[in-house]
């Protein structure tokens, strides 16, 4: 198990290497000059040239990349082109807020999706099942940023229950929770709509299996059959799907963070892109890729816990 985890961690290296090559090529070949953004359109050509030299932007692509890579390996992601702060510090400062929202959303998603999926499956074709299906189809079709704006209009502007935007403090603080509630729920409920469908499909398949008939025929209570025999087996494909959903959750969180002015890495990314802050964008993309890979690893390790048949050799 430990060996497996270590090998997966080693696999990180080539993956992250390709990600960095990709993103720095993208930056290099895209039009627009960050120095022009910094100094304004009417800047003196000499001043532009001097700053370019200072930032090393006048050097060829591969030298710039190798220099950046060398620094990155030592944990130095360079300095922001616009704010002259360390990129690594800017990201670390905002990462907790983003992780907090993602964590909250994942907990909401699992707490709601599992019971909804089970109820839908045990009442296949009934009114409850159909209503839940319709709800999830509608919810998946609504743009996240639109739901966010409607929620702000209803719950913040009209009813005044939740703050409009920003972060109030850490998660365990009631005030912090009040700020987190709207963005966190919106992020989480979208996953509920997706995951509950998959749990339902998995449950339906498993409820038709022979060992379920055996369990029923030996007189086990239906509740035991559903929760102990079926659900545990239905969780295996669900965990896979959940792993595949991780990039999606992070994706939507970028948009939700922007709408709610949440001080996380997602909003930082959008700001950095709009200001052509290349070093900052490079760092943030790298961190997101790292997050996806680490979370996927965690999901894979979770398998062995849910399904004792799986042994990571």
Residues that bind other proteins (CB under 8 A): 15, 18-19, 22-23, 26-27, 30-32, 130, 133-134, 137-138, 140-146, 149-150, 152-153, 157, 197, 201, 204-205, 247-248, 250-252, 254-255, 258-259, 269-270, 273-274, 276, 281, 284-285, 288-289, 292-293, 296
CB of 246 to other proteins, least distance (A): 8
CB of 206 to other proteins, least distance (A): 11
Say which residues have a Cβ less than 8 Å from residue 167's Cβ, sequence separation at least 6.
97, 176, 179, 180, 262, 263
CB of 291 to other proteins, least distance (A): 8
Using the minimum distance from each CB to other proteins, give the nearer residue, 220 or 296: 296
Using the minimum distance from each CB to other proteins, give the nearer residue, 122 or 258: 258
CB of 83 to other proteins, least distance (A): 17
> Which residue pairs, CB below 8 angstroms and at least 24 apart, start in 56-59?
none
Using the minimum distance from each CB to other proteins, give the nearer residue, 114 or 252: 252
Using the minimum distance from each CB to other proteins, give the nearer residue, 39 or 270: 270
Using the minimum distance from each CB to other proteins, give the nearer residue, 138 or 311: 138
CB of 201 to other proteins, least distance (A): 5
């Amino acid at each position: 198990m430990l060996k497996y985890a270590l090998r997966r961690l080693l696999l990180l290296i080539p993956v992250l290497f390709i990600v960095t090559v990709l993103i720095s090529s993208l930056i290099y070949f895209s039009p627009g000059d960050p120095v022009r953004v910094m100094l304004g359109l009417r800047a003196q050509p000499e001043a532009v040239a001097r700053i370019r030299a200072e930032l090393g932007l006048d050097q060829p692509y591969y030298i710039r990349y190798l220099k950046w890579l060398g620094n990155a390996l030592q944990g130095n992601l360079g300095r922001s082109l616009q704010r002259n702060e360390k990129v690594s510090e800017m990201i670390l400062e905002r990462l907790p807020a983003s992780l907090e929202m993602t964590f909250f959303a994942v907990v909401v998603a699992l707490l709601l999706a599992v019971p909804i999926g089970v109820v839908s499956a045990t009442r296949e074709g009934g009114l409850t099942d159909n209503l839940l299906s319709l709800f999830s189809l509608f919810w998946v079709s609504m743009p996240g940023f639109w739901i966010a704006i409607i929620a702000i209009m209803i719950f913040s502007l009209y009813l005044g229950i939740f703050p409009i935007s920003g972060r109030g403090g850490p998660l365990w603080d009631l005030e912090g929770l009040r700020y987190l509630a709207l963005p966190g729920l919106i992020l989480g409920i979208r996953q509920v709509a997706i995951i509950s469908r998959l749990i339902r499909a998995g449950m339906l398949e498993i409820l038709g299996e022979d060992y379920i008939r055996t369990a029923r025929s030996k007189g086990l209570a239906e509740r035991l059959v559903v929760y102990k025999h079926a659900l545990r087996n239905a969780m295996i494909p669900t965990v896979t799907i959940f792993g595949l959903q991780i990039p999606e959750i992070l994706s939507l969180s970028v948009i939700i963070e922007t709408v709610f002015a949440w001080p996380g890495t997602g909003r930082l990314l959008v700001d950095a892109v709009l200001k052509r802050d290349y070093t900052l964008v490079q760092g943030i993309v790298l961190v997101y890729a790292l997050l996806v890979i680490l979370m996927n690893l965690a999901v894979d390790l979770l398998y062995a816990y849910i399904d004792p048949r799986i042994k990571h050799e």
